[in-house]
Structure 1
């Protein structure tokens, strides 16, 4: 990383850095010499030097009627960093109060189209605990066997197990036969009594809803909603047939 890039982390612009580094190299010098070395106008250099003095990075002295400037010890940058840290710590209670207020609201993301549905599926692999899902038989038809196989392979490599509740259709019955191989447990419910038309996944503090008919998905991020939907899933799991 270039020194100018490092100085930018301290809030110094490109011209600020040029003036500071020129002063550091020249030692005690006039604004004219510093401006010439920094490649900026002399009038501009005065404004920058004044600003750097306020930050404690530049000092000044007098030689007769002439003002001379000099860079402080490079350690002054560390002091500047400490001051910024102190200011941040003072603002922390306010920042936390804003975060807590925002954190209480569910975060909702919408996805459209086949690619959007695939993004929702990929997001379920961001949580390395167990997945809980209500499934339909439309996933392969819509997303394709290749994508489904890749998704399963990634899930198994990450050792993410899944419990699913699905309708007793021929497709889901075949799906259930792969339980042991695919790190999954499947329980069936009557398609006639429970004709699911969307898929729902519960993982961590998130819920993912996928409508293959409408080709849209929604991810809701909320501790409370996810916790209560997980309770409903457990209730359904106990009542579902093996």
Structure 2
């Protein structure tokens, strides 16, 4: 059975150990049809070169062998095979044995991959906590230019844009959200994973749905989600584009037909859009 995993970040994937696996950096979804693909994807996330991954996966699949046979199986030159083995041995992923004067190489305990992954995530967490702790001071000391408007194209671009919201905690987001159109452009798997992380970070939503979506059974923001307050626009108030307001940002997402989005970062603009949202909110039905 194919294994489908949505990628929001490294930690979220690690928390799903046993249920999912990592995706390649350039995509938001990867379909795994073999356990070796899972190993390959994890090692890629850990920065292990492709040639080294080929060697390790070959050893896992076929058992211990010589460098000559590894070169034949992987298509890598023999000198390069030795280089990859040297790298893998640093991670305790390959063991070496001498049998009758011949050197054989084999894959180490595959559970070592999990240990390496755990160490990597722990280091990332430490780095993130250190950065968060000093972020205000770093912002004050640097002269980075923050663009006021950023554009994103395509499904993956729009998904990446919406993830910005998940950097926040304990906030309330005001949204005009035509659910059917957003489901089409963002995808069900992405929205479900997004919703889980949003709830984890205590991000509440005030959403206005289109009038005709009141009876939708398919819903990523479920009724048991107490962090969502929903109202429905008046009849005749149809819209296909969404916008979300939080902090000093307003995020716009088009329908799948045009598949683009943009973020406006401006306190004044966010205040103006929030004022308009309140008018719609008060005029919408529960």
TM-score bracket, normalised by the shorter chain, equals 0.5 to 0.7
Number of aligned residue pairs: give it: 140
Q: CA deviation at 1:169?
A: 2.2
Q: Deviations over 1:2-31 (max 9, x none)?
A: xxxxxxxxxxxxxxxxxxxxxxxxxxxxxx
Aligned to 1:230: 274
Is the CA contact 1:135–1:164 (under 8 Å) kept in the aligned structure 2? yes
Aligned to 1:130: 172
* Match 1:159 to one of 180, 194, 202: 202
Q: 1:172 to 1:206 in 2, by over 3 A?
A: farther
Aligned to 2:261: 217
Is the CA contact 1:188–1:240 (under 8 Å) kept in the aligned structure 2? yes
Aligned to 1:111: 152
Specify every segment of 5 or more residues in structure 2 that has no aligned partner in the other structure, as ranges: 1-139
* Match 2:184 to one of 121, 137, 141: 141
Q: What is the CA RMSD across the aligned residues, in angstroms?
A: 2.4
CA distance in 1, matches of 2:177, 2:215: 9
Q: CA deviation at 1:180?
A: 3.8
* Match 2:212 to one of 159, 169, 176: 169
CA distance in 1, matches of 2:279, 2:198: 25
Matches within 5 A, 1:36-185: 107-128=148-169, 129-136=171-178, 137-170=180-213, 173-174=216-217, 175=219, 178-181=222-225, 183-185=227-229
Q: CA deviation at 1:172?
A: 6.3
Matches within 5 A, 1:4-23: none
Is the CA contact 2:172–2:206 (under 8 Å) kept in the aligned structure 1? yes
Instruction: Please give the TM-score of this superposition, normalised by the length of structure 2.
Output: 0.45
The structure having more radius of gyration, on CA atoms, is: 1
* Match 2:249 to one of 203, 206, 217: 206
CA distance in 2, matches of 1:214, 1:182: 32
Q: Deviations over 1:71-110 (max 9, x none)?
A: xxxxxxxxxxxxxxxxxxxxxxxxx9xx7xx88xx70000
Q: CA deviation at 1:176?
A: 9.5
Q: Stretches of 4+ moved more than 6 A in 1?
A: none
Q: CA deviation at 1:231?
A: 1.2
CA distance in 1, matches of 2:243, 2:215: 15
Aligned to 1:25: none
Q: CA deviation at 1:113?
A: 0.3
Q: CA deviation at 1:222?
A: 0.2
